[in-house]
Homo-oligomer: A and B are copies of this chain.
């Protein structure tokens, strides 16, 4: 059993209409609010007006139009306002990208230089503005962790930021996800699953967290198709939202070796170069990575995955069971409407070598600690298998 720290100070407030409790929770933090959001879906579902009404006693400044792969340019906008207006707290209303950008704004507000420095060098991250979150997409888990992912389109870099940036409270109202389009619902499901695989499919697990991971995967596999069939299925939307929060918070990894998060490493390169949807990249990469990682040593873990998540029969043919599990994974992503190949989304092999070099240079995780250890050629091979 490895040593670990578990620290989850965010207050999760889960259920319909619970956003109404936010003003009471924020009132001791001040009255100057930086409201951050994305492309306007929060206006379509009436949440924007609701927030304005709830916080009518506050002075609200806004950063809108935060991109799906949130850019450092949006972060700079927020930091500028936060410094100029002496913002008291950030109210992030949206999915993971809005939360991630808000986290970089939160620490950027107390940093003298460019907020991109804080992405490049975590040691420069200090104090952060308090963040309150209202989640509108079940995917990244940013509502319950202390990290974010920021993209710099100038340098083709999509990189994580870490720091004391847990939201003080996150409101999770599944009804806000009723209007999430099919493709985003599916990509969000793939993201939750990928977070789980990053912890689960490593060389050594433990009974407690292997089981936690398997519950996460069963929940998504059961609920995503229901949410796609009936977007207003509260139970399915709620199950996805509940699961999303545990993907990145550390719970799935307690007592285990630190995971290198290799599939996320590979995907960040793809979306940094091509600005694709994160969950789509993950869904394409995941089965190829599993297949590439399958060998005599890793087969038992992949077979157990098939048995405990897809209900496969335990048999003497461990390799066969592992293969079947990988097939079912690919089939699941296809069934929920996600592309299976990079060629389907217009990506060819032009940048594979650059991406492999880059991820090995900048990624926080150690690729030699992956389920099957991966070097430069292995990474390129996995990208190629996705063509």
Contacts and interface: CB of A to CB of B under 8 A. Distances in A.
Nearest to A234: B1
Interface string A170-187: 000010000000000000
A211 B207 contact: no
A239 interface: yes
Copies in the complex: 2
A11 B4 CA distance: 10
Interface string A1-29: 11111111101111110100000000000
B3 A239 contact: no
A210 interface: yes
A8 B15 CA distance: 18
A340 interface: no
Interface stretch (A33-41, A96-104, A124-132, A216-224): A216-224
B12 A6 contact: yes
Contact of A5 (B14, B206, B210, B235): B14
29 contacts: A1-B174, A1-B234, A1-B238, A1-B239, A2-B15, A3-B15, A3-B16, A4-B12, A5-B11, A5-B12, A5-B13, A5-B14, A6-B12, A7-B11, A7-B12, A14-B255, A206-B242, A207-B215, A207-B218, A207-B219, A208-B216, A208-B239, A208-B243, A210-B215, A211-B212, A211-B218, A212-B212, A242-B255, A251-B251
